[in-house]
């Protein structure tokens, strides 16, 4: 825990953290705030994919089964 060295020396802004660094200077850093949602960014639609020409193979011909007639 830190010690209070002197009061009302630095005019403070809300949302900033003030501390004394190793050299004895008073430093200001913006505080990180959790829980804020970012604005939604519209997603870019990918370019339409070109369909490849598919060569269709001719269907295999089915052999007709002929039943032999009994005499």
Residue 59 confidence (pLDDT) above 70 = no
The pairs formed by 63-71 with CB atoms below 8 angstroms and a separation of 24 or more are none
Q: What is the mean pLDDT of the chain?
A: 77
Residue written as tokens 């501390």?
A: 19
Task: For residue 28, give the nearest of 11, 48, 6, 50 by alpha carbon.
Answer: 11
Task: For residue 26, give the nearest of 40, 6, 53 by alpha carbon.
Answer: 6
| Per-residue pLDDT at 44 | 78
Instruction: Give the three-class secondary structure for 2.
Output: coil
Question: Tens digits of per-residue pLDDT, 1-20?
Answer: 567 777 888 888 888 888 88
Reported pTM: 0.38
């Amino acid at each position: 825990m830190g010690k209070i060295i002197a009061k009302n020396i630095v005019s403070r802004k809300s949302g900033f953290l003030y501390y004394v660094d190793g050299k004895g200077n008073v430093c200001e850093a913006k505080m990180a705030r959790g829980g804020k949602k970012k604005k939604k960014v519209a997603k870019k639609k990918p370019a339409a994919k070109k369909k490849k020409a598919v060569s269709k193979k001719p269907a295999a011909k089915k052999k007709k089964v002929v039943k032999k007639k009994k005499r």
